[in-house]
Amino acid sequence: MAVELQYCLTVPPGDPQQRPVRFIGKLRCLKDLKWLQISDYLSPRVDQQTWFAALESVEKNTTVSLWLSNAIVSALPFKVSRHNSPGRPHALSRTVNTLKLHDHPEYAFIIACERSEAYSLGCAVARCYPRYNKSTTGSVKNINVQVGFIFVGDDTRPLTDQERQALSETGEGIRLTQYIVDAPCSEMHTDGFLEQIKEVGAKLGLTPFVIRGENLREKGFGGIYGVGQGASRPPALAVLSHCPPGATKTIAWVGKGIVFDTGGTCLKTRLSMLGMKRDCGGAAAILGGFYAAVKLGFSENLHAVFCLAENSIGPLATRPDDVHTLYSGKTVEINNTDAEGRLVLGDGVVYASKDLKADIVVDMATLTGAQGIATGKYHGAILSNDEGIEGHCSIAGRASGDLAFPVPFSPELHFSEFNSVLADMKNSVQDRSNAQVSCAGLFIFSHLGFDFPGTWLHIDMAAPVSSGERATGYGVALLATLFGSLSSNPLLKSIAPAISMSSKAVDEHTVTKKRKIET
């Protein structure tokens, strides 16, 4: 079954017998709807009296049937904490996932909400319809899902075409990301991922720059090459670059693209290896986010850097005790081949800084299992040398539905976990109970250098990358919103934090350290 998702300025009227309709929103938003706004979607099966009676009963039941299973109204929870998204997009996704698509070629979703919540709720619908599906069952092969909005509150103007475009392009990016993450490594190997990058580049009129295989080793990318050297398909560093006229600043998004993670020579157990096709979730989100951002008029230089490898086992695979030299020139003693994501990202962020001259470097990765323990399955963990972008990322998470929450940034307390007597550092911590999520991110940052004058943001989304057995597309809407102030799209600009593009002063720890050295 293939689902086409269509965001509509206005959903065309229709008989529920021919096109099932679902109304979704917080109860107060549903009660604000006028019968004339919704009657064309319900007639002749549901009358005004039935609609208002349903709203009275929906207070006790989350979902109420108006007419068989073809006309349904669902109320989203009203209460929301300060670390959640105001529109309750996760609740919407759960509700939509319970409303199964059956034998109709078309379905309509009418969302009642405030205008500021439209983006997060629209993205939540996209997450419900991942594209990868090899099932051969089902009588209807192609289904069109039409999504419309009726706004309540202070601004009740209909959805504009530019707002619809923001939802459509972001939804496309989310579903692309889901497809890459859901596809098995037999299809989405490094060659398959590169094909996805090329296809996105073709849609945007861009040609990717690629370094792969032995060329990585020759050029000094010891992290990416070392992780992927044991696989049958060579590792790669790929870059898509959007450089519009008049741009003065440069942003780089760097994604961990481990297409499958066996753990390498430090082999995972059978159960912990299941689902490791999702270890490319960071790079997949970078690709989907880049597509959406460029389509929606990104005004500054934007580079998407993909660090692609399969962490496999074999006679050529990295061994514990091996020492690799990364692109930064720093040497790393390998004490755990299953701590591979930080190695490829160490190369990626340095390339972004040194070769692409990025002012802001964001890396995104399914980096640590500890992330889910630290910030849970909904909130990605963020780590940064800049308190400003850290706060902006949390704001963008609540506005987009891709929630994010900071973990401690204290190199002086945590980086000693990587001490090595043989090399500049080890790749895995000595004490696994000492802020693992922070430590893993600091390993990546150490290759930029703790005196890095630019802005660095790390997003660990190991748990939010999936829900159950399906990918969520986490990260696409977060990136689009975080940098939405640099977009020409008015919807993104209206919900985006006012991110600063000025150079960041070095952090207080670095200043203190320099003063001691000078003294």
Crossing angle, helix 118-127 and helix 161-182, to 10 degrees?
30
**Tokens representing 30?**
């549903």
- On the question of a cis peptide bond just before residue 44, with omega within 30 degrees of 0, the verdict is yes
Please, what is the Cα angle at 335 between 317 and 312, to 5 degrees? 25
Which residue in the block uniquely carries the two structure tokens 């989907």? 288
| Catalytic residue chosen out of the listed positions 31, 45, 198, 268 | 268
CB-CB contact of 324 with 229 (8 Å) = no
- The answer to whether residue 268 is catalytic is yes
Crossing angle, helix 190-204 and helix 281-295, to 10 degrees?
10
- On the question of a cis peptide bond just before residue 408, with omega within 30 degrees of 0, the verdict is no
CA distances from 253 to 197, 305, 364 (A): 14, 6, 8
DSSP 8-state class, residue 505: P
| Catalytic residue chosen out of the listed positions 19, 127, 342, 426 | 342
Tell me the sheet residues that pair with 465.
none
Which residue in the block uniquely carries the two structure tokens 């790079």? 283
Which of 317, 309, 308, 320 has the alpha carbon at shortest distance from 230? 317
* Strand 466-467 with 209-212, pairing: unpaired
Q: What is the DSSP string of 149-196?
A: EEE-SS--PPPPHHHHHHHHHHHHHHHHHHHHHHS-TTTSSHHHHHHH
CB-CB contact of 41 with 14 (8 Å) = yes
Residue 5 DSSP SS3: strand
Q: Which residues are catalytic?
A: 268, 342
